[in-house]
Amino acid sequence: MLAFDQLVAASERGLRTADPDKTTVVGSTAATPTGEMITHLEVELPTSDALIKRIAGRSRSQAQFWADAAALTEDLFGSATSANIFVVGMAVQAGCLPIASEKVEEAIELNGVAVEANKSAFRWGRALIAMPSRVEEAREACRPEAVREMATARIELADVYRRRIGALGLTEVEKESVERFASELALWGSVADLGRYLDVLDRVAGVEERTHASGRRVTLAVARNLYKLMAYKDEYEVARLMNDPEGNAAATEAAVAGERIAWKLHPPFLRALGLSRKITIGIWARPAIRVLAKGKILRGTPVDPFGYARVRRLERALPGEYVEAIDRALPRLQAGNVADIVALAELPDLVRGYEGLKLERIAEYRARLDRELARVSDS
């Protein structure tokens, strides 16, 4: 049962074909008063909990998937018009609709109405079933107060993160650099990514503190290069940068009166189809770009539409491989091999370019990483 309207779903007519042994329910808890309730204020809308209990009594009580789809889509997109498509996404991910997700998205495209918004709502509905905590993180990040905080994240890291960076034993100039990496990483992903990044720096700085072998040379090298590997430029990050207020302000300031501002892009999927030149996208596309930027919460998940490309899979694997190599090298740190370990830590600088070129550089980087790690292990 797809319960777009919880009150109708809980009615006798809505439950007529429900079966306690067979019926699974996926629906929205958003309150939708009837015409009678609007004209007769003494008629009250039953509570959501009461309606859920009634529906559960006539269906499989342990197979109920509910969410306030209207509130979620309002927070995520600024409008609840795609709430029903959000519920469809929940149903597909829960395995309750025997329709491939690609076919649902194809139907949305063929319908031709609010295509990007509806596709995004469908994907977010799937994500709610697969990883509800990630959706809640994205919802919080989209609220006005959170957006204001993120707009100043380059300057104002939360005190807890500033204290952690301050405890690394860096000079003021070095600390400013790491704070910049940290704030950009939080904007790229989430505070969870920032926490993992600082955990690694804590370990490296701790070893350097105990050995007195290298000052903070290794810590700084890891700070720069782990950030580079973690904050790779995928579709979500490009969309975020396209919406960056500072970048847009600079473009507006540089434009001559009467000229239009546009983005020049060469998306990987179009390049794969043989398009050899960049395409022009006008400012009119900013709402869709903004939606794409918010989709970063899907990055690396089973519902990430861009995550199956080979280059994206490799980009996701590189940070873990790098941290593993650093953790294997750190116990060997001593005055005589500081330069070798710093060189190992700086190898990600080899990973440059896009698509085919980047794949070549990744292969070269991995080979060099193995060689440098073997040399450090033998020292």
For the segment 224-262, what is each residue's pLDDT rounded down to a tens digit?
999 999 999 998 998 888 887 766 666 666 666 556 777
Residue 235 tokens read as 């579709």
What kind and span of H or E run contains 119? helix 115-130
- SS3 (DSSP) at 264: strand
228 with 205: CB under 8 angstroms?
no
Q: For the chain, which residues make up each domain, given as ranges?
A: 2-130, 149-233+308-378, 241-298
SS3 265: strand
Alpha-carbon 132 to chain mean position: 13
Per-residue model confidence (pLDDT) at position 256: 62
| pLDDT value at residue 40 | 44
**Is 156 or 209 the better-scoring residue by pLDDT?**
209
The C-alpha atoms of residue 358 and residue 126 are separated, in whole angstroms, by 31
Q: What is the pLDDT of residues 25-78, one digit of tens each?
A: 999 998 766 545 444 444 467 888 999 999 999 999 899 999 999 889 888 877
Residue 280 has pLDDT above 90, yes or no: no
H/E stretch holding 361 reads helix 355-378
Q: Determine the Cα–Cα distance for residues 5 and 365; give it in Å rounded to an integer.
A: 55
Average pLDDT over residues 342-367: 91
Residue among 11, 61, 55, 3 nearest 30 (CA): 3
Tokens (6 digits) for 214: 């290298």
Distance, in Å, from the CA atom of 356 to the CA atom of 266, rounded to the nearest integer, reads 14
User: Residue 212 carries which DSSP code?
Assistant: -
Q: In this predicted model, what pLDDT tens digit does every residue of 76-118 receive, in sequence order?
A: 877 788 899 999 999 999 999 999 999 999 999 998 887 888 8
Query: DSSP assignment of 31-99, as one string?
Result: ----HHHHH-TTSPPPPHHHHHHHHHHTS-TT-EEEE-HHHHHHHHHS--TTHHHHHHHHHHHTT-S-S
The pLDDT, as a whole number, for residue 38 is 40
